[in-house]
Amino acid sequence: MRKIPVVIVEDNWLLRESIKEMIEQAKDFKLLAACERFEGIPSWSSGAASLSPVVLLELGNCNEKGLELVRTVKEALPNSKIVIMNMLPKQEDILQLVSCGVEGFILKDAASEEFLATVRTVFLGEKVLPQRLTNMLFSQIIEHSNGSEMPSLLESANLSSREKQIIHFVAEGLTNKEIAQQLNISSFTVKSHVHNILKKLDLRKRMQIAKIASLQEIK
């Protein structure tokens, strides 16, 4: 039976030794290295690169330095699968980390069974989020759907100045004919703009445009 190769990167000695012991006791795992930090290309990485190891990486905060560390690991071990330990990242942090090559997240206070199951699942090519993070993400998604993410939605939609004008009038409750009179254009042109706005914002109904406009100032 092929064993799952594992690399541990944890700066806390006690935690590193605890995780190391857990990995070594699991019969289907093979510990390649346990180190305090991952800098450059470690001497042991040449043999590990061909094994597609799971790298258990303690990241701390998700900032540019943390993202750069993930990129460094991927550069040294391009076939590796990275699992971030001990983080409760925000939705945008998870997106950034996944885009940099992270395959899973695990909390260091997780039970041994959950910890090992995460490593096994990631090794098989699947993405993993612990339940606590999943619940947190759902809460954030619900919060964002209530308006906190609307500014970024409009800012990223690449709206024209005319489309922004029309959004403003739609929010005031004007009909296409009334908007056309205000802007001195045809009703057909207004209808076309509304259609484009819905498409850009990935919306279905005109009233949703008004909802977004009421939640923020259109710049």
**Whole-number pLDDT of residue 151:** 45
Which has more confidence, 137 or 27? 27
Q: What's the number of domains the chain is made of? A: 2
Q: Is the pLDDT of residue 137 over 70?
A: no
Is residue 38 located within the same domain as residue 133? yes
d(CA 92, CA 149): 11
Is residue 133 located within the same domain as residue 83? yes
Is residue 68 located within the same domain as residue 104? yes
Is residue 117 located within the same domain as residue 66? yes
Is residue 52 located within the same domain as residue 25? yes
Give the helix/strand (H/E) hosting 103: strand 102-106
Is residue 71 located within the same domain as residue 48? yes
Listed residues 82, 107, 140: the one ending a domain: 140
pLDDT tens per residue, range 28-84: 999 998 988 886 556 666 666 667 899 999 887 667 788 888 988 888 888 899 999
Is residue 90 located within the same domain as residue 187? no
Residue 92 has phi, psi (to 5 degrees) of -65, -30
d(CA 177, CA 166): 12
**CATH at residue 20:** 3.40.50.2300
Which stretches does DSSP call E strand in 60-138?
81-85, 102-106
pLDDT tens per residue, range 174-195: 999 999 999 999 999 999 999 8
Chain centroid to CA 67: 12
Instruction: Please report, rounded to a whole number, the percentage of residues in the chain having pLDDT higher than 70.
Output: 75
Nearest in space to 81 (alpha carbons), one of 53, 46, 106 = 53
Report pTM: 0.60
**Whole-number pLDDT of residue 150:** 43
For 18, the token pair is 């605890």
Domain that holds residue 123: 4-140
Angle (deg, nearest 10), helices 187-201 and 161-171: 100
**CATH at residue 167:** 1.10.10.10
